Chains A and B, each alone.
Chain A
Amino acid sequence: MTRRAITQYLLVGAVGIVALVAWQVAVRTLGVPGYILPAPTDIATAFGRGVERGIYPSNLAATLTAMLVGYVIGAGAGIVLGALVAEFKLVERLVYPYVVSLQSLPKIALAPLFVMWFGYGVMSKIVTVALICFFPLMVNTMTGILATERDRLDMVRSMTGTRMQLFWHVKLPSAAGHIFAGLQVAVVLSLIGALVGEFVGSDKGLGNLIQYSQASLDTAGMFAVLGILATIGMVATSLVRFAQRRVVFWEAAKRPPQGDAG
């Protein structure tokens, strides 16, 4: 890490601390009731109480399972169908109109239906997450494959490359940048999908915990869960970005990585 990067991190940390202190002081001096806006120390206490009671591990596991399994299934199906639509005119003509009309439907609206079909357990959340992750991957994979440079295709064609070879050696890697952009979008959506699924009807999960806190007017406890959610979102996004830099390294080289100096 360069000195500039360290200074940068210290500054960001300082801003956070200043904001927390201001929050704390404002809540205390203005006498804001705890059920409207708890002070940071109240949230920390609520979090500690939650840890003591052991409410987090099983709920966290439920949400993460829904998120991860749904993400893998939805993104995987999206990549496969996106590739099929891009490669086969027939598939495009038969399937794509339905995909487009489904895409304008808010997928979240289907969550109650999935709870009716698949119950209050994790399955209905997995389906919601998978559906919500499917579209950005399908569209991006299709766009990426169709945007393959003609010169690259001609190059492999001139070597007597078959259609399969064109796909594996040129089209799919050419689309990798687009696919990862879709994976970035989908990872954020997967958390939303899992939560909404849990709001609609669940017996477990962080979304369930938020609703429980709401019912018992435990605003500090709710904020504690929101903190966990923010952390999940950040970690998941960074993981995808890390994978992207590793896998699509040739595109990262073209534009300087954002957010870190040097």
Chain B
Amino acid sequence: MTQRVEAGLRLAALTVDYPTAAGPLRAVEGIDLAVRTGAFVAVLGPSGCGKSTLLRVLAGLLRPSAGTAEIDGEPVLGPRRDVGVVFQDPTLLPWKTVLENVCLPGRIMGLDRHAYVARAHELLQLVGLGAFAAYYPGQLSGGMRQRVGIARGLLHDPKVLLMDEPFGALDAMTREQMNLELLRVWQATKKTILFITHSIPEAVFLADHVIVLSPRPGRVIDILDNDLPRPRGFGMMATPQFGARTQRLRELFNVEGGLD
């Protein structure tokens, strides 16, 4: 325990180097970041800027080379039970049914089976897949699979949900629909969400704060506090306030060399 216990996520002077054949490759550098409990924060940056590296550090899957990552004042030393992760490719296990996939965190963590199965059914209702519990992932569309991934991330009722470009592989229409559903799920569950994306409109649509990273090595170049009113709907995307925010983020990237 550090002296100052602060709720939420905190990254301090975080630097991560990956070993490569040509020597260490710096993925992110000197990241300082604080996310208060219950906030929806988007991390926006070009491909390969180390966005996913941040997520892997917070998920306890990767040790930082320097600096610290803390959740509620405790340093992240490995995977934690109070964190849920939604992966880019939902990485469902094809040999397990939708229900078994959603129940996986419960099985792995050895929770009470009766309770987590009931909760899995509730979560499947929440993401609109109540009728698909007995299906296998191979029988679902990309959008449905990603919703299963979200339900799985929420099963053990984590305080924090880390989402790694969860809708990147979906078509534009499904993606917008998923964004709307995610906001609904967030409002129903009140999790702290760290959402990685390289879509400017997606970040502005979803988040309270948009953290903007530079191209590799990723550094925080700006934080946009996004106070657009909630609940948000598609209509909001047509407002001048929405346009002004996306425009501002676009300009940041034009200065920095653009997205992708």
**A interacts with B:** yes
Chain A residues within 8 Å of B, Cβ to Cβ: 149, 151-152, 154-161, 165, 169-170, 173, 176, 248-251, 253-254
Give the residues in chain B near A152, CB-CB below 8 Å. 91, 93
Asked whether any CB of chain A lies closer than 8 Å to the CB of B186, the reply is: no
Asked if B89 contacts A158 (CB within 8 A), the reply is: no
> Once the chains bind, are A160 and B87 in contact (CB under 8 Å)?
no
Is the pair A157, B61 in contact by a Cβ cutoff of 8 Å? yes
Q: Which residue of chain A has its CB nearest to the CB of B80?
A: A160
**Besides the contacts A155-B91, A170-B93, A250-B138, what 9 more A-B pairs have beta carbons closer than 8 Å?**
A152-B93, A158-B59, A158-B79, A158-B85, A160-B80, A173-B93, A249-B136, A250-B94, A254-B138
Q: Nearest-CB distance from A166 to chain B (Å)?
A: 9
Which residue of B87, B109, B137 is within 8 Å of A155 (Cβ)?
Answer: B87
Q: List the A residue with the shortest CB-CB distance to B62.
A: A154
Q: Is B60 part of the contact surface with A, judged by Cβ < 8 Å?
A: yes
**How far is B91's CA from A154's CA once the two chains are assembled, in angstroms?**
10
Residues of B within 8 A of A (CB): 56, 59-61, 78-81, 83, 85, 87, 89, 91, 93-95, 104-105, 107-109, 136-138, 156
In contact, B85 and A151 (Cβ under 8 angstroms): no
Q: Is the CB of A156 within 8 A of B104?
A: yes
Q: Taking A156-B104, A158-B61 as contacts, is the C-beta distance between A151 and B89 under 8 angstroms?
A: yes
Q: B93 to chain A: which residues have CB within 8 Å? A: 152, 169-170, 173
Q: Is B108 a contact of A169 with CB atoms below 8 Å?
A: yes
Q: Are B85 and A173 in contact (CB under 8 A)?
A: no
Docked-complex contact A160 and B108, CB < 8 angstroms:
yes
Contact A160 B91 (CB under 8 A): no
Decide: A159 and B104 in contact? CB cutoff 8 A. yes
CB distance from B169 to the nearest CB of A (A): 13
Taking CB atoms, residues of chain B closer than 8 Å to A157 are 61, 79
Beta-carbon contact of A250 and B61 below 8 Å = no
Bound Cα distance from A160 to B93, whole angstroms: 17
Flag if B91 contacts A151 (CB, 8 Å): yes
A94 to B108, CA, bound (A): 32
The 19 listed contacts between A and B (C-beta, < 8 Å) are A151-B89, A154-B59, A154-B61, A154-B91, A155-B91, A156-B108, A157-B61, A158-B79, A158-B83, A158-B85, A159-B104, A159-B108, A159-B156, A160-B78, A161-B108, A165-B108, A169-B108, A250-B95, A253-B136
B99 to chain A, nearest CB (A): 15
Main secondary structure of the interface of B (DSSP, over half): loop
Closest beta carbon of chain A to B231's beta carbon, Å: 30
Q: Which residue of A lies closest to B149 (CB)?
A: A155
Q: Which residue of A lies closest to B162 (CB)?
A: A158
Q: In the assembly, what is the distance between CA of A91 and CA of B61, in Å?
A: 26
How many angstroms between the C-alpha atoms of A149 and B87 in the bound complex?
13
Contacts of A149 in B (CB 8 A): 91
Cα separation A248 to B138 with both chains bound (whole Å): 13
A244 to B209 Cα, complex, angstroms? 50
Q: Which residue of A lies closest to B83 (CB)?
A: A158
* B104:A158 contact, CB within 8 angstroms: no
B83 CB to nearest A CB, Å? 7
Partner of B79, one of A160, A173, A250, A254: A160
What residues of A have a CB within 8 angstroms of the CB of B104 in the complex? 156, 159, 169
**What's the nearest-Cβ distance from chain A to residue B112, in Å?**
16
- Most chain A CB neighbours (cut-off 10 Å) among B83, B95, B137: B95
- Output the residue of A157, A173, A248, A251 with the most chain B CB within 10 A: A157
**Nearest Cβ in chain B — how far from A243, in angstroms?**
15
A91 to chain B, nearest CB (A): 26
Complexed CA–CA distance, A157 and B87 (Å): 12
Please report the C-alpha to C-alpha distance between residue A248 and residue B85 in the assembled complex, in whole angstroms. Answer: 27
Cα(A254)–Cα(B136), bound, Å: 13
Contacting residues, chain A, for B136 (C-beta < 8 A): 249-250, 253
B73 to chain A, nearest CB (A): 19
Give the shortest distance, in Å, between A189 (CB) and chain B (any CB): 27
Bound CA–CA A251/B137 (angstroms): 12
Task: Output the nearest chain B residue to A155 by Cβ-Cβ distance.
Answer: B91
For A165, the chain B residues whose CB sits under 8 A away are: 108
Q: Are A173 and B95 in contact (CB under 8 A)?
A: yes
The distance from the CB of B150 to the nearest CB of chain A, in whole angstroms, is: 13
